[in-house]
């Protein structure tokens, strides 16, 4: 059975340098804060959606309501992914946040931005910029893929 993160960190604590201990403590505190933000965001999202649907003031077929609800859902998902990343940062084996995960979180943020984007108010340069950033992040993520993933590998 896999041991929990706090147990593994506690085992390695004596061998960690001062700075590694500092990083671990900061990451732990940030993890707690992000967890609190996720819980509050989930509570607010749940109360707004359930209350709005029951009260009849929230029409899920209205495009703006759809954008708002799914924008809030994406915020919760982004925060969860961020928290997941921090959990591994606290690990004694992993002392640096994986760049690939940061790029993935940025892609999730861009997806959220596209979901809440009002196309009637968006300008051409704004759309071009958002598209260019998304393409750059996608290419970066693709370039960082695992070479053993089976993509573009020929069989023997």
Percent of the chain's residues with pLDDT above 90: 18
Q: Which two tokens stand for residue 44?
A: 């607010």
- Domain of 129 in residue numbering reads as 5-149
- Which has more pLDDT, 150 or 146? 146
> Does the residue 32 lie in any domain?
yes
> Does the residue 156 lie in any domain?
no
Return the pLDDT at 149.
56
Return the pLDDT at 120.
85
Provide CB contacts within 8 A for 27, sequence distance 6+: 86, 89, 90
pLDDT in tens, 26-64: 888 888 898 999 999 999 989 888 888 787 777 777 778
Provide CB contacts within 8 A for 50, sequence distance 6+: none
Checking if the pLDDT of 90 tops 90, the result is: no
Checking if the pLDDT of 113 tops 70, the result is: yes
pTM above 0.75, yes or no: no
> Does the residue 155 lie in any domain?
no
**How many structural domains is the chain composed of?**
1
> Does the residue 25 lie in any domain?
yes
Distances (CA, A) of 21 to 17, 26, 83, 97, 117: 6, 9, 19, 15, 42
């Amino acid at each position: 059975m896999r041991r929990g993160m706090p147990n593994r960190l506690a085992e390695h604590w004596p061998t960690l340098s001062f700075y590694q201990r500092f990083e671990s403590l900061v990451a732990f505190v940030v993890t707690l804060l992000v967890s609190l933000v996720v819980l509050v965001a989930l509570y607010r999202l749940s109360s707004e959606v359930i209350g709005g649907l029951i009260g009849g003031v929230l029409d899920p077929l209205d495009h703006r309501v759809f954008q708002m609800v799914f924008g809030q859902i994406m915020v919760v998902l982004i925060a969860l992914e961020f928290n997941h990343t921090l959990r591994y940062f606290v690990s004694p084996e992993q002392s640096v946040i994986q760049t690939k995960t940061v790029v993935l979180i940025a892609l999730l943020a861009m997806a959220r931005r596209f979901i809440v984007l009002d196309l009637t108010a968006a300008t051409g340069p704004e759309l071009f910029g958002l598209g260019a950033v998304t393409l750059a992040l996608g290419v970066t993520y693709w370039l960082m893929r695992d070479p053993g993933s089976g993509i573009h590998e020929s069989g023997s």
